[in-house]
């Protein structure tokens, strides 16, 4: 039991598997003979899910840490910039109903509570700009179809905070190449036929189809929805959250651009429908579009018709791919000497692109906390499970928030979403408090938070949540600073909408000339 941990085997070569291998190897393989051995086994026959194309800004840090050039990443994964999400028709369902969840924090956040001021000015005054527009310059940048940086801004640096849209297949290939060529990860292409446990319930080895037994001290289950180790072999139960989040099916298509120079929106579009919502993500070469919906509320035929209406005539040449979604996660994520990351750990609808970021956070934690010996592994596992469970709960709350504030009445889907019996108590409590004060850092005090209070503010006030403004001390306390912050935001809007390049224009320049390396 006291043996040192010398080898890690990652099972699965999707985004989760390669990110796990890359982050662990980048930290623990320093070119010494006794370095941790990192092996990744994947089945070519089974393949990867190949969707999951919207990321968080955290990906910039992850890529930088594993030693990837951002220019190469743009050139090889058809990457485009993402500066947040534009939610259309979530509030009333009307044609002109939209709001933004940008990636730049509100001016003065968190020391200044601009949200209360905005609520004060906006109460009964239609002329006041939307919350995100009033407190953040990024909405204007997005509406202008502009990039978040200049060609002179170095790799990973920014004018406006940004994440990426990418081609999931190309991303896995890109990471694979980097892992094998630069990080010394051993790559095995084979099927795992069986997972063999030892007498104590640990994974002893994997029985592979052509390469014999594959042993390791720690296994990372990245086998996607198969959950081969954590679910099938170790029997960790799945905890459904279908009673809170109803989405259980996706219909996806890849839509070609009408012309090669078509503008690429620098944000994800999340377009609410009668029984779910459609994601629309523009990368360099195409759009990735998917309708995620609730089969309890509509039929496949109706969902196909809604998707077709969104995509337009191009749909005639496309065959939508159907992906069942099981909303929920494992009861624990690390059992014995096996830890699950990615779809094997769980999945929720891709509303705020929370899957890849959770993979990044999980592999960073595994890598940083990598136990030295087997007998300290259970302590690490307990901590990992506590933090990861907390994160899943916060994601569930945040996703549900998007639904509970909608005023849509066009289907049972929206009505059912507002039924208090489907709203987690933790979210109900937050909403009760936020009637009287805007979400702030005091509401999110764990070191393991997923979404900052600013994200809650953007969704809450974007969805038309109204605060009770009878406490007005803030007007006196921070009045001058707030005025300055609103003016600063207006000036930033003016400056950056005049000087930032168009999204596609900058991407093409990056492809041709590259960014300044760091
Ligand atoms: C419709 C949809 C949209 C999404 N959009 C987003 C998004 O915008 N943003 C986001 O962050 N996430 C999104 N996701 C989630 C995202 O796709 C996944 O989190 C991500 O791709 C990671 O997948 P994975 O690596 O866990 O699994 P997979 O890609 O399925 O990889 C599983 C790997 O395990 C291997 N494997 C399985 N069984 C065996 C075996 N017996 N032997 C050997 N190998 C085996 C497979 O070959 C494969 O290599 C979306 C998901 C869906 C369904």
For the Cβ of 323 lying below 6 angstroms from any atom of ligand 1, the answer is yes
* CA–centroid distance, residue 368 to ligand 1 (Å): 23
Query: Which CATH number do you get for residue 372?
Result: 3.50.50.60
Residue with the smallest CA separation from ligand 1 atom 4 is 52
Structure tokens at 212: 């014999």
Q: How far apart are CA 197 and CA 233, in angstroms?
A: 8
| Last-in-domain residue among 302, 324, 346 | 324
| Last-in-domain residue among 346, 365, 392 | 392
Do residue 204 and residue 303 come from a single domain? no
For the Cβ of 54 lying below 6 angstroms from any atom of ligand 1, the answer is yes
Do residue 36 and residue 184 come from a single domain? yes
* CA–centroid distance, residue 223 to ligand 1 (Å): 8
Q: How far apart are CA 358 and CA 154, in angstroms?
A: 27
Q: What range does the domain containing 235 cover?
A: 7-53+167-242+327-392
Q: 130-152, pLDDT tens digit by residue? A: 999 999 999 999 999 999 999 99
Question: pLDDT value at position 488?
Answer: 97
Contact present, 272 and 406 (Cβ < 8 Å): yes
Do residue 477 and residue 431 come from a single domain? yes
Q: 411-452, pLDDT tens digit by residue? A: 999 999 999 999 999 999 999 999 998 999 899 988 889 999
Which atom of ligand 1 lies closest to the CA of 223?
A: 34
Do residue 120 and residue 235 come from a single domain? no
For the Cβ of 52 lying below 6 angstroms from any atom of ligand 1, the answer is yes
Do residue 176 and residue 320 come from a single domain? no
For the Cβ of 290 lying below 6 angstroms from any atom of ligand 1, the answer is yes
Structure tokens at 63: 């890529």
* CA–centroid distance, residue 17 to ligand 1 (Å): 9
* CA–centroid distance, residue 168 to ligand 1 (Å): 9
Question: pLDDT value at position 52?
Answer: 85
Confidence band of 2 (pLDDT split at 50, 70, 90): low
Q: Does some domain include residue 336?
A: yes
* CA–centroid distance, residue 347 to ligand 1 (Å): 10
The beta strand positions in 325-427, using DSSP E, are 328-330, 334-335, 338-340, 346-347
Do residue 235 and residue 191 come from a single domain? yes
Cross-strand bridge partners of residue 417: none
- Nearest residue to 85 (alpha-carbon basis) of 109, 54, 61, 58: 54
For the Cβ of 355 lying below 6 angstroms from any atom of ligand 1, the answer is yes
Residue with tokens 């996660």: 329
The best mutation among 48, 188, 344, 451 to test binding of ligand 1, ranked by most ligand atoms within 8 Å of the C-beta, falls on 48
Do residue 440 and residue 320 come from a single domain? no
Which atom of ligand 1 lies closest to the CA of 193?
A: 41
Q: Is 143 left (phi over 0), alpha (psi -120 to 50) or beta?
A: alpha
For the Cβ of 276 lying below 6 angstroms from any atom of ligand 1, the answer is no
- Nearest residue to 269 (alpha-carbon basis) of 400, 394, 101: 101
Q: 206-226, pLDDT tens digit by residue? A: 999 999 999 999 999 999 999
Q: Does some domain include residue 85?
A: no
For the Cβ of 230 lying below 6 angstroms from any atom of ligand 1, the answer is no
Q: How far apart are CA 12 and CA 192, in angstroms?
A: 10
Structure tokens at 150: 């200049």
Residue with the smallest CA separation from ligand 1 atom 51 is 52
Confidence band of 85 (pLDDT split at 50, 70, 90): very high
Rounded to the nearest integer, the mean pLDDT of the chain is: 96
Supply φ then ψ for residue 439, to 5 degrees.
-55, 135
Residue with the smallest CA separation from ligand 1 atom 6 is 52
For the Cβ of 350 lying below 6 angstroms from any atom of ligand 1, the answer is yes
Do residue 287 and residue 174 come from a single domain? no
For the Cβ of 223 lying below 6 angstroms from any atom of ligand 1, the answer is yes
The best mutation among 14, 321, 398 to test binding of ligand 1, ranked by most ligand atoms within 8 Å of the C-beta, falls on 14
Q: 244-297, pLDDT tens digit by residue? A: 999 999 999 999 999 999 999 999 999 999 999 999 999 999 999 999 999 999
Give the mean pLDDT of 359-363.
98
Count of structural domains within the chain = 3
Structure tokens at 472: 């007005």
Q: Does some domain include residue 118?
A: yes
Q: Does some domain include residue 1?
A: no
Contact present, 488 and 112 (Cβ < 8 Å): no
In 369-411, alpha helices (H): 377-404
The percent of residues in the chain predicted with pLDDT above 70, rounded, is 100
* CA–centroid distance, residue 449 to ligand 1 (Å): 24
Q: Does some domain include residue 504?
A: no
Distance of CA 171 to the CA centre of its chain: 15
Residue with the smallest CA separation from ligand 1 atom 14 is 52
Q: Does some domain include residue 278?
A: yes
The best mutation among 49, 207, 214 to test binding of ligand 1, ranked by most ligand atoms within 8 Å of the C-beta, falls on 49
Answer yes or no: is pLDDT of 1 > 60.
no
Do residue 338 and residue 230 come from a single domain? yes
Do residue 476 and residue 408 come from a single domain? yes
Structure tokens at 50: 């190949």
Do residue 137 and residue 150 come from a single domain? yes
Confidence band of 124 (pLDDT split at 50, 70, 90): confident
Q: Does some domain include residue 92?
A: no
Q: What are the DSSP calls for 62-85, one per residue?
A: HHHHTT--HHHHHHHTT-EEE-EE
Give the mean pLDDT of 80-108.
97
For the Cβ of 356 lying below 6 angstroms from any atom of ligand 1, the answer is yes
Q: How far apart are CA 223 and CA 12, in angstroms?
A: 5
For the Cβ of 148 lying below 6 angstroms from any atom of ligand 1, the answer is no
Residue with the smallest CA separation from ligand 1 atom 16 is 52
Question: pLDDT value at position 478?
Answer: 85
For the Cβ of 53 lying below 6 angstroms from any atom of ligand 1, the answer is yes
Q: Is 184 left (phi over 0), alpha (psi -120 to 50) or beta?
A: left
Do residue 238 and residue 332 come from a single domain? yes
Q: Does some domain include residue 272?
A: yes
Which atom of ligand 1 lies closest to the CA of 359?
A: 19
* CA–centroid distance, residue 391 to ligand 1 (Å): 19
| Last-in-domain residue among 298, 324, 350 | 324
- Nearest residue to 200 (alpha-carbon basis) of 5, 374, 376: 374
């Amino acid at each position: 039991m006291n043996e040192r941990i010398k080898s890690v085997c990652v099972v699965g070569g999707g985004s989760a598997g390669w990110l796990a291998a890359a982050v662990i190897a980048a930290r623990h393989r320093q070119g010494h003979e006794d370095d941790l051995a990192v092996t990744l086994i994947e089945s070519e026959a089974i393949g990867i899910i190949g969707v999951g194309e919207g990321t968080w800004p955290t990906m910039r840090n992850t890529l930088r840490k594993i030693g990837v050039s951002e220019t190469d990443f743009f050139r090889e994964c058809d990457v485009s910039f993402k500066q947040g999400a534009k939610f259309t028709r979530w509030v009333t369902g009307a044609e002109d109903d939209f709001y933004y969840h940008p990636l730049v924090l509100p001016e003065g956040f968190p020391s200044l509570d601009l949200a209360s001021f905005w609520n004060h000015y906006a109460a009964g005054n239609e002329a006041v700009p939307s919350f995100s527009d009033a407190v953040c310059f990024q909405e204007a940048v997005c509406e202008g179809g502009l990039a978040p940086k200049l060609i002179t801004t170095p790799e990973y640096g920014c004018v406006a905070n940004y994440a990426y849209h990418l081609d999931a297949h190309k991303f896995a290939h890109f990471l694979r190449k980097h892992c094998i060529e630069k990080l010394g990860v051993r790559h095995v292409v084979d099927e795992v036929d069986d997972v063999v446990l030892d007498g104590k319930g640990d994974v002893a080895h994997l029985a592979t189809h052509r390469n014999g037994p594959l042993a390791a001290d720690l296994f990372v289950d990245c086998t996607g929805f198969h959950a081969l180790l954590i679910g099938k072999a170790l029997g960790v139960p799945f905890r459904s959250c279908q009673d809170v989040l109803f989405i259980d099916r996706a219909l996806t298509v890849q839509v070609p651009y009408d012309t090669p120079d078509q503008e690429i929106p620098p944000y994800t579009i999340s377009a609410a429908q009668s029984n779910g919502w459609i994601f629309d993500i523009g990368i360099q070469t195409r759009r990735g579009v998917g309708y995620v919906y609730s089969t309890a509320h509509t039929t496949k035929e109706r969902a196909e018709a809604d998707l077709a209406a969104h995509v337009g005539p191009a749909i005639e040449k496309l065959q939508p791919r159907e992906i069942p979604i099981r909303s929920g996660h494992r009861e624990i994520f690390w059992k014995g000497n096996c830890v699950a990351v990615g779809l094997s750990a769980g999945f929720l609808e891709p509303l705020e692109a929370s899957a890849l970021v959770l993979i990044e956070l999980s592999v960073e934690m595994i890598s940083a906390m990598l136990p030295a010996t087997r007998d300290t592994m259970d302590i690490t596992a307990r901590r990992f499970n506590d933090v990861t469970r907390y994160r899943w709960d916060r994601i569930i709350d945040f996703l549900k928030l998007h639904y509970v504030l909608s005023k849509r009445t066009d289907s049972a889907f929206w009505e059912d979403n507002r039924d208090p019996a489907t709203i987690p108590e933790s979210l109900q409590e937050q909403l009760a408090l936020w009637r009287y004060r805007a979400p702030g850092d005091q509401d999110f005090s764990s070191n393991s938070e997923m979404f900052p209070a600013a994200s809650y503010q953007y969704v809450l006030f974007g969805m038309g949540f109204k605060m009770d403004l009878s406490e007005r001390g803030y007007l006196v306390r921070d009045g001058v600073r707030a005025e300055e912050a609103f003016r600063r935001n207006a000036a930033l809007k003016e400056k950056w909408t005049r000087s930032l390049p168009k999204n596609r224009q900058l991407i093409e320049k990056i492809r041709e000339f590259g960014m300044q390396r760091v």
